[in-house]
Amino acid sequence: MQLDILKAIYARATDLYTRGRGDDGLRVGLRMQGYGDWNLDNVYAFVYERSVELEAGQHGTFVGGIKQADFAMMLNS
């Protein structure tokens, strides 16, 4: 169960990291939210912390929420 959650978080963090390499707005958003420079460790920390804030229903629902969450939008808000 925990492995599924961590895999989902890692997958989303690596996707966001790759996307942000070409998007100045995402990099600025991460820095403005206090996570520092754009690197995988900091992006993972952001995605992890936002993931635990998601509504935690049943396991499948929680993992689905992580997979569907718009973390890029969360960075820019």
* pLDDT tens per residue across span 38-61: 999 999 999 999 998 887 665 567
Average model confidence (pLDDT) across the chain: 92
Task: Name residues whose C-beta falls within 8 Å of residue 45's C-beta, 6 or more positions apart in sequence.
Answer: 35
User: Domain extents for the chain?
Assistant: 2-75
Six-digit token string for 17: 């990291």
* pLDDT tens per residue across span 5-48: 999 999 999 999 999 999 999 999 999 999 999 999 999 999 99
Residues listed for the chain: 77
| Alpha helices, H only, 21-56 | 24-32, 40-52
